[in-house]
């Protein structure tokens, strides 16, 4: 498996995750993961499975597996993005870098920009979606806007709108202020502009038609800025827009 590296030094690797690859290894995951690649690339000790990172930023500690094992269990992978989402992923090479970047995520000092292709003409061109996100009680594999859910905010800016095969689509920049699981996908569904190809949240009929035209959820972790975990220098990264999204945008 070849993974593009956007940046690397003695403390940190920034990769451009291809779509279709799971980030963290688990008993339910089949096939090679980003974690497998990292363990090979950095010669991490191989562990059988990893704990789940619940909200995409701060890992959930399970039992006594904490402290140093958080870093080892995840092979330094600081956060995660969905299997079908492409784009920027941070990997720490040392425990010091790992826990410092976790702290930045927890305190919302890491700024992320996603790019999505959504259904319909999104109005107004600039706005914010503020709605609590949580697991659906009747389907634990899906998330939604639920009472008692975790606070979640997503800012957005429309890049452009066009028509393809008699249907209107918008290209949208998204700025999640929090890191809830499926937050962007759920928020866009909530305002009736689901992401193209979203098999969970676009609706059964729409998703079926989408998947005939595109092979995945049209979401890309495009840009990220953070403070270097050791030097304190401001870092900014950008992952090239993947070909499948670029063709639709053009």
Are the C-beta atoms of 195 and 203 separated by less than 8 Å?
A: no
Q: How far apart are CA 105 and CA 179, in angstroms?
A: 8
With a CB cutoff of 8 Å and minimum separation 6, the contacts of 120 are 168, 169, 170, 192, 193
The total number of residues written for the chain in this structure: 250
Q: How far apart are CA 199 and CA 184, in angstroms?
A: 14
Q: Which residues of 12-30 are buried (b: 16+ CB within 10 A; e: fewer)?
A: bbbbbbebebbbbbeeebe
Task: With H, G, I as helix, E, B as strand and everything else as coil, classify residue 222.
Answer: strand
| 36, 70, 82, 198: the active-site residue | 82
Say whether 82 is catalytic. Answer: yes
For the annotated catalytic residues, the residue numbers are 82
């Amino acid at each position: 498996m070849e993974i593009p590296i956007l940046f690397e030094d003695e403390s940190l690797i920034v990769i451009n995750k291809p779509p279709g690859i799971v980030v963290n290894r688990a008993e339910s995951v089949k096939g090679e993961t980003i974690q497998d690649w990292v363990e090979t690339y950095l010669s991490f000790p191989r562990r059988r499975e990893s704990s789940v990172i619940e909200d995409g930023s701060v890992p959930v500690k399970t039992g006594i597996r904490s402290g140093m094992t958080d870093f080892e269990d995840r092979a330094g992978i600081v956060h995660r993005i969905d299997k079908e989402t492409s784009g920027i992923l941070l990997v720490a090479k040392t425990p010091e870098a790992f826990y410092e970047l976790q702290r930045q995520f927890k305190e919302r000092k890491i700024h992320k920009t996603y790019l999505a292709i959504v259904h319909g003409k999104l109005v107004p061109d600039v706005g914010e979606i503020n709605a609590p996100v949580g697991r659906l009680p009747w389907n634990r594999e899906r998330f939604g806007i639920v009472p008692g859910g975790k606070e979640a905010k997503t800012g957005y800016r429309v890049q452009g709108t066009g028509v393809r095969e008699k249907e209107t689509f918008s290209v949208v920049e998204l700025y999640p202020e929090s890191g809830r699981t499926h937050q962007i996908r759920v928020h866009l569904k909530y305002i009736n502009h689901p992401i193209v190809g979203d098999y969970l949240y676009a609706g059964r009929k729409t998703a079926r038609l989408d998947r005939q035209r595109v092979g995945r959820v049209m979401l890309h972790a495009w840009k990220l800025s953070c403070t270097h975990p050791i030097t304190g220098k401001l870092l900014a990264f950008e992952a090239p827009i993947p070909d499948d999204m670029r063709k639709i945008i053009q």
